[in-house]
Structure 1
């Protein structure tokens, strides 16, 4: 009887993995344990059972793609705890471990057991006030019967903030929290965080100049807003008190500064921002009929870049819409469409000028997307489906810009900004989602946002208001936005809540538009800046 040598390769963590060879020849069971600790290292133990389904084929070696670049101290043991030869290669920024069997097991029904161990710092981070575990998504290949994943952490990591998805089992043993998952239930990876909130220091300046020689002007600039249950802002320094500070209908905190003819001012605001977690269960979302009509009318209209009435957008939206689903379940379908059909382009981010494509052109150039295209396509699809949606511009902290890209520039003298999406569900209110990071990280940024996104502005108009980071002194290379992790002890200091600066008057003064063109691109995207100002009085000298 002729025996066939077969190189078995299980790509358990690849985004688009598949087994090489005949899947029906073998059956695989995997148990993966992540033991993570205060050294910001996870010890990973991958126990694998390979069952022969035929007597004519046997496995002589085994290849595992970890889905991680950072792995070390790789070992492999057979079922008798004897060491096996290994080889580690890095392909496409991912470590691939190859194990060579000393004695391949022959015969139908016979089982080969092995254990692959390694260490990684890539799946655990301690940032600010938060411990975060991030395990890449798993593609279950044909020959894999079962995948079980266990995550174990010290029980003094702090309170559990969230775990996505929900584990099948939670328990405490040997002073550790242990979370167990079924691999079939985690198509978007595992994300677990511990802590009460994230805390950031912020320093923002706005350079304002009235080039008009005859008229005074009132400039409007946005401060980072308070958002109920999500974002809380405290001010330690505000060098110039605004004429007015109002909260607009999108929840933006808009400060007005009046400048005399030829006058220039540098407004500086420093403080702390607390970010809290908000997690949703899409299946428990609200019904379309319960969305207030005023919100539907305002936030489902087509806008520039959000072409929700374009033929192809409508066609896709109709295919995605499930009328018996909740608002959030349908929003998830739009989010997933953008995640699965666009690809983030690192090369495009390095260009000095970046054209904003909009939703329609993003579909025509799916391999050339950055955060703007993910945002615009998702908003257009949501609006076409009848789901209110708007844009968010802000800052997002990232430890790995390849998996969680920050902005369209890498120049350290530029302000690093990010763009994401907010949709409205009558059960949850406004919900933030990030399809860009959903695509680049393989994690779920729909059911929960991490606590590393800081909202600067929420926009029903793609071009207004412009976020901090745009109001720069073009003669200076200094960043106008600086974000660092804060210390919770600073919250005990005498800080002023942002709301204490809000004016009591309910309405803005009438505004007029002034068109200014930037000669260099702001960090988020190149656009024409429209400043709104109040007409002043003519001033006569002498």
Structure 2
């Protein structure tokens, strides 16, 4: 009997040993892929946990032993002094408490190594429990085996870790373990014991071991065939590096080549420059005028640039200046070297290259910095002086084809050009949108608002490349109806031009992400590759080039001069009728009250005292339960409050429902941890929210909210259109 028990114990230990070896393979890549210096304590913890599980130690004692081991290991790894001293333990508790706050705030980069090691020990604790469950209870390890093979394969493929030997070890240990567990299931199913069980184990394990050993040797010695397919990893990585070609996934950012538009993009948070500004505005770089059906090029070869010194007036004019506006100065600090200068509308001069000069390229309207030899040079920082432009609505509405600026054939041809191959339905759509509009301004604004009205979707990922015989604008307008700024801006330029109105394509950056308030006047913004953008400029003869923003979820912060002649009208005063006051009747007691019967305060009080005396225990317990429920509901209100708000605002019918809903959303985002920073504007805050969740919902909601603040009365239809975006965004705060 003793020999039988020893044999059973041997196979049980063998099963746990193979389980340990499989789990060990998960730890080995850590020394290569992370800055983990020593895995000894983690390996010893796995051995300890599996040993306690094998001997069926009570969970309270087992948990205590594991906890003590974790504390000893953490002390040995990160703390000085005596293990029995309280100084390190207090420091450890403070570190865990601080890191719990960082965890709740999703500040993963700020977590300490002590806290990370503690979490890793807890993860190993859970893994050993699962291993013990699979080995002892389920007697099936296939799921964990598949996970291990997948893990090693992925790590070997995409990292510097060499998993050739590891995958062989996993195959050998895994098949041996699965074979032993399969045998144990058969023995249990057939209810074999004693000598019969041991004989079956010996007969099973010997041929299994020999088969695995021979197959492994043959596999190593046999000649290897060349792969049938090329390695896909460089192909995939080329997309991440922005070299995937037309069908690949490129990174966002400014690029001079726009001849082939289309295809998906991935975000790139690399900061290009920081700016100290007084107000938000777009940063302009260059314009392009010739649409090819696939992208943008220049119709005129670049002529010689116009040089000017640092601080001199730039030979560039967009529109008539408003001398009543003060000149403002803003500073730009370059993080990623470019020789071009980013500048706001209304720029007057640029300083910061005293040793060299600047050059204005009139065809592109691009400004470059040059060194002493006249070669392009990258600047570290520069300052810009500008006067914020305003655009006269009266002048824009007065625009027509017969004005003097429209009598220059070269100008008209250049900025109303569209390819002969442009599908007729693109032109028909533009004519349909503008058919009821009398002047250029209303036509342009109608086309600008068409994309939001027809629910076009802003998307950087699910964006196809046009086929060889397909027009870029036609594909966007009539097939996909989803894309990013290039799709929206190019489509608007082509439609405006089809109406005979001069327009051009502009490239640059949006205002960037708000960072902090520098002083009472200046704010610091970070502009990254994610802020690269394109928009539209339309020419009005009496005004000049006016920017427009057709991309859904974006706003160019354009200042219009509301100088239209509005006739004075006397509003009819509707008299409000005075309310007639109805004299109040004195309250008279009922017959029962007058008689003194049927009601007595003394009887009610006695009844209440008796009820509390008989049920005080239940009342106290109920009160404590309600208090506990109220506290828990308050603590976890972030998770359930959005659903209540959704139901609440679905039933509301008031005119100011949108403003109330937007404020509720901002409060809920604050509870989620995304609070508005001091000095941060709503637009900057909305872009921060959208970058956090990877959407443009908050920007669209903010734009509509700001319209309500400036006099646009929202109706119920406005709320219905935006409610879906509002609900989608507020639901994301429940996670």
How does the TM-score come out when normalised to structure 2? 0.26
User: Which structure shows the higher helix fraction?
Assistant: 2
Greater C-alpha Rg: 2
User: Which structure shows the higher strand fraction?
Assistant: 1
How does the TM-score come out when normalised to structure 1? 0.34
